[in-house]
Amino acid sequence: MTGPATTPVEQRAWEVLAGVADPEMPAISIVDLGVVRGITCGNAGLEVTVTPTFAGCPATAEILAATGRTLRAAGLGEVRVVLQPAPPWTSDWITERGRRALAGAGIAPPDRPATAPTGDGSRTVDLDLRPPAPAVCPRCGSRHTVRTSAWGSAACRGLHRCRACGEPFEAVRAV
Amino acid sequence: MTAPQPHGAGPAGPAGPADDLADDLAVYADLVHETDDGRWAFGTGFTDPLAGVDTRVPAGIDGGALAMYCRMLGDDALVHSQRLQEWVTRAPELEEETAIANIALDLLGQARRLLTRSGTADGSGRSEDDLAYWRAPHEFLSVPLADHRDADFAELVARVLLLATWRQAVCLELRHGADPVLAAIAASAATELRYHREHAALWVVRLGRGTELSHRRMQAAVDRLWPLRGELYRDPPVVARLPGVAVPAAAVRDAVEDALSGVLDRAGVDGPPPGPATGAGRDGHHGPDFAEMIDELQSVARAHPGASW
């Protein structure tokens, strides 16, 4: 689950970045979060493209900085980190390993596939006022949960409460 | 760099009081030691919201016009974000405080990218900070709706609904535009705005169909704000200079009106028609409160020019 790698250096870079924690959700690596979009090795060194989860995410700068810093510290030579705003990040890019890591840290992974109308066919402004599908409680596995807040401690998460075990938890939003 | 260990992750072993104390101290250790971890909130050196993006203007596009158009959309987001931030610590409940702050944060992120695009499109090299902190109030090009000072929570949610609906429709169109940078910024903004719109719509319906008092105040908010959307449907002259790039009002008006009426119908609230549009705001003319708001937005940057941390 580390993306296409065609050279040993690129493969090594994916492995190194798989050890870099997301600043706001340290349980998951930036590779498993799906924000590292590509690594290519050319004559000028490594070029890494990164797509932030949200335009306003305050952790973006640290993700970009940590990417370059960590690869250089691993002895992988010159590194250029490039922001790639499109296509926009979707929670569908979170890997299976990432989903397990989130659940292990008490954060419910997002439903898949995400329902956001990102396809080119969606030219109209649709409006879905149905309540979101209940998240699965990461502690007891129950679907008998309720969203208590549309946003949580970060832009990518909401707050939920499990009616089965009574515990509050966070869930990554499906976008 | 060593990945920080999340508290509570993995199998929990038996933890005694000493372990708890060690955990507590470890939290503070991150703040005082010269490590890379745990200090990211204090600055990373990465400040360009379009770091490494190819910002050359495609042939055939008027860079100056593109820059002005990006300032219009960026200023709408920046000014609306600032007004929402004024509500932090004043929201009716904690969950709503978080929502308002996060909507403001998303809009700020969109503004940063749009203002950065503006400074690269016209070749001026002006940064997002140059544009946000060092322009005079009459140089801001936001629509009057963006800097409206909400009198109550009903106005706040009505205004988020109105602006997010229009802005999302514009962004969905912009994704197909001829400037790849603006198209990319718009594509990610559209998904953020959808969530804002859903959240605001739920409140408008809840208040519209709630008590007699909440209905009356929701209706009053819509009566006050809905006419202001007339300005959204008037194209500033710069749009004609950007064929295939900018989104004319005619391309989104019907979709926006349908989406807005859909919500108001469910809320049992009547929506007045759009009021007359004069082009105010887009031409730098703003209401009496505007300069005061910009003054607060710029005060720290102007008190400490060039400061960093």
Give me the interface pTM, i.e. the ipTM: 0.83
- Considering only the beta carbons, identify the residue of A54, A65, A125 that sits closest to B255: A125
Best mutation target among B40, B42, B106, B110 (most A Cβ atoms within 10 Å) is: B40
The structure tokens 């998951």 sit at A28
Confidence tier at B10 by pLDDT (50, 70, 90): very low
Q: Is residue A2 part of a domain?
A: no
Which position has the higher pLDDT, A44 or B293? B293
pLDDT at B37 over 90: no
The mean pLDDT of B47-61, rounded to a whole number, is 88
Is omega for the bond preceding A26 within 30 degrees of 0, making it cis? Answer: no
pLDDT at B32 over 50: no
pLDDT given at position B309: 65
Same domain, A12 and A75: yes
**Crossing angle between the packed helical segments B153-174 and B180-208, to the nearest 10 degrees:** 150
Distance from C-alpha of A36 to C-alpha of A13, rounded to nearest angstrom: 11
Which residues in chain B have their CB less than 8 angstroms from residue A168's CB? none
Nearest-Cα residue of chain A relative to residue B105 = A56
pLDDT at B6 over 50: no
pLDDT at B100 over 90: yes
Same domain, A64 and A12: yes
Distance from C-alpha of B167 to C-alpha of B268, rounded to nearest angstrom: 24
Cβ distance of B40 and A61 shorter than 8 Å: yes
pLDDT at A122 over 70: no
Confidence tier at A114 by pLDDT (50, 70, 90): confident
pLDDT given at position A4: 58
pLDDT at B128 over 90: yes
The reply to whether B30 touches chain A by the CB within 8 Å rule is: no
Find residue A161's DSSP bridge partners. Answer: A146, A168
pLDDT given at position B47: 72
pLDDT given at position B12: 39
CATH code, domain with A51: 3.30.300.130
pLDDT given at position A59: 85
pLDDT given at position A57: 81
pLDDT at B156 over 60: yes
The third-level CATH classification (topology) of the domain covering B63-303 is Ferritin (1.20.1260)
The reply to whether B220 touches chain A by the CB within 8 Å rule is: no
The reply to whether B12 touches chain A by the CB within 8 Å rule is: no
Q: Is residue A20 part of a domain?
A: yes
* Chain A nearest C-alpha distance from B234 (Å): 20
Same domain, A77 and A131: no
Q: Is residue A28 part of a domain?
A: yes
Q: Is residue A91 part of a domain?
A: no
| H or E element in which residue A50 lies | strand A45-50
Confidence tier at B14 by pLDDT (50, 70, 90): very low
Cβ distance of B198 and A129 shorter than 8 Å: yes
The mean pLDDT of B252-266, rounded to a whole number, is 94
Q: Is residue A129 part of a domain?
A: yes
Domain boundary among A83, A115, A137: A83
Q: What domain range includes position A73?
A: 8-83
Q: Is residue A95 part of a domain?
A: no
- Considering only the beta carbons, identify the residue of A59, A105, A175 that sits closest to B9: A105
pLDDT at A95 over 80: yes
Q: Is residue A88 part of a domain?
A: no
The structure tokens 């969606």 sit at A122
Express as a percent the part of chain B with pLDDT over 70: 85
The reply to whether B41 touches chain A by the CB within 8 Å rule is: yes
Distance from C-alpha of A146 to C-alpha of A131, rounded to nearest angstrom: 10
Nearest-Cα residue of chain B relative to residue A153 = B98
Cβ distance of B9 and A19 shorter than 8 Å: no
Burial string for B172-206 (b: 16+ CB within 10 Å, else e) reads bbbbebbbebbbbbbbbbbbbbbbbbbbbbbbbbe
The mean pLDDT of B190-216, rounded to a whole number, is 94
Confidence tier at A73 by pLDDT (50, 70, 90): very high
CB B143 within 8 A of CB B290: no
* Chain A nearest C-alpha distance from B4 (Å): 6
Best mutation target among B1, B37, B179 (most A Cβ atoms within 10 Å) is: B1
Q: Considering its fold, how many domains does chain A have in total?
A: 2
Cβ distance of A56 and B266 shorter than 8 Å: no
Cβ distance of A120 and B175 shorter than 8 Å: yes
Instruction: Give the amino acid at A171.
Output: A
pLDDT given at position B31: 46
Same domain, A78 and A111: no
The mean pLDDT of B127-150, rounded to a whole number, is 97
Confidence tier at B21 by pLDDT (50, 70, 90): low
- Within 86-145 of B, beta carbons closer than 8 Å to A belong to 94-95, 98-99, 101-102, 105-110, 112-113
Q: Is residue A21 part of a domain?
A: yes
Distance from C-alpha of B202 to C-alpha of B158, rounded to nearest angstrom: 10
